[in-house]
Amino acid sequence: MINNNIHIIIGQLNFTVGDIEGNTKKIIGAIKKANEEYNADIIIFPELSVSSYPPEDLLLRPAFNKSINIALEKIKSATNNIHVILGHPLKKDGVLYNACSLIHKKEIKKTYHKQYLPNYGVFDEKRYFTPGDEACLFEINGVTAALSICEDIWVSKPVVDAAAKNAKILFNINASPYDKNKNSERESIISKRASESDMCIVYVNLVGGQDELIFDGNSMIFDKNGDVIFRVPEFGEGLYEAYIDTKQSEIKSKTKKEVNLNLIKEESIYNALVMGVKDYVRKNNFQGVVIGLSGGIDSALTLCIAVDALGPENVEALIMPSRYTAKMSIDDACTLAKKLKVSYEIISIEPPFSAFLQALKPIFKKLPVDATEENIQARSRGILLMAISNKYNKLVLTTGNKSEISVGYATLYGDMAGGYSPLKDVWKTLVYQLAKWRNKEEKIIPENIINRPPTAELRNNQLDQDTLPDYEILDPILEQYIEFDKHPEEIVKNGYDAETVYKIVNLVDKNEYKRRQAAPGVKITKKAFGKDRRYPISSGYIEKK
């Protein structure tokens, strides 16, 4: 008998790459809850849930794939009457697939192999997987449904093939990373697939941080007209309950967790940064973080993110003034630390700085003071931060932003020293936006920090503008060159001074060696430094007019 009402559970969960045992335990716990507490017909998990995503070269280890098979046996035994859609790697006849299996009554009933393997940006799936080429259908409550995986929804063919075989629902499981414009793109393409195929589409996405990648969840259900009829909260981990009426294309939800579904841009980005820090620290077993707090906007925002991610008890600030540090900077840093209830210490870098200068005096002789002495100060701070990191197993969060790292306005083994970089993909202009957003409900960051002209305070009366154009000019040029690969002449035609543009793009290219040694950080744009953008360090290519 056909029962058009299908009771589903979306398992928008946070898994850890390589933690097969922990992931399996979480999957079995969710299956048990969906079956016993919700009495659901089906539970859907994200792409590669058993291994989590991306497992990268772990997939090349035979023992890893054997562990996946052992985990699948455990998961099968927990299914009973509920249908389970589960993503996992599958090694079969010596060939590795990115697979999605339907498990029911302790058996794998159907298995789908991902057909379109992304091999761009952060994706490298063709290195590991072999593509499938067939649709995979099954029946639930008398209704024909189909399976698909992530990239397959971005291409018409797998969807059309499923519809041609009379599927009424398409279950699409994903590990789709966050960027600040991604959700609108997803919604547009899935809406198009639903309307052109006349199918309801259940889109389930991974949530959580994995190194530089953030998975934002944002799982959704679309009716056959392409309208979103159910949406899971962005960055929300949990089990989300819905009923699909396949005849009427209606949705009913019992859960009361669907709040803040359409976050404003700043809130969404800030939440991504918080999740990135939280999961990196948690998944790598650090005992907290330590941050160099300067009294500037970047370290202030980084401290707020860390506290919101980990709690003030797990965050320590180190204020390290030099002979060039203004009293205002120290006062503002102390005020911020107190407001956030963060433990902090003040350690002057004057003794180590002076000692280094004295040691180098015979070598430097009468050479003029230049950036060398500025870098010694930054490196003195890096030594102090790393000493605390070593002694207390606390991760150093670096505080540099994307604008600075783009043009090399950062010191190797100095302010770049650390284990994770929350603002690595955040333009300086966006740093100010996020700081102002964070201050909306409560004035945590002192106004001095937001309103003062940015300065590294490594020499008397120093301002960032002494070396760089205003960030309102710098950031759009960098964005066009780095994220959209525009030629300098195209950027000039968009209204920017030619000499400035060429100076900036050549700074970007010559500082690749610095970025290659930088800490990983949260990806929030289309093209972040790291896996996204791959340029040679040793290169004779120069952008010329």
Residues marked active site are found at 47, 114, 150
**AA identity, residue 229:** I
Taking residue 225's Cβ as centre, other Cβ atoms within 10 Å add up to 12
Pick left, alpha or beta for residue 94 (phi over 0 → left; psi -120 to 50 → alpha; otherwise beta).
left
* Sequence-distant (≥ 6) Cβ neighbours of residue 63 within 8 angstroms: none
Helix (H) or strand (E) holding 221: strand 220-222
208-to-16, 127, 178 alpha-carbon distances in Å: 9, 24, 10
Q: Enter the DSSP assignment of 528.
A: -
Place of tokens 């409560």: 442
**AA identity, residue 214:** I
Query: Please, which contacts does 18-24 make with residues 24 or more away whose CB atoms are closer than 8 Å?
Result: 18/51, 18/52, 18/55, 18/58, 18/64, 19/52, 20/50, 20/51, 20/64, 20/67, 20/68, 20/71, 21/71, 23/49, 23/50, 23/51, 23/52, 23/71, 24/50, 24/71, 24/74, 24/75
Distance CA(118)–CA(141), nearest Å, equals: 33
| Number of continuous H segments (helices) and E segments (strands) in the chain | 16, 19
Distance CA(224)–CA(80), nearest Å, equals: 30
From start to end of 304-403, where are the E strands? 315-319, 343-346, 395-396
3-state secondary structure of 94: coil
Place of tokens 């302790």: 106
Nearest to 323 by CA among 346, 281, 353: 353
**AA identity, residue 194:** A
3-state secondary structure of 365: coil
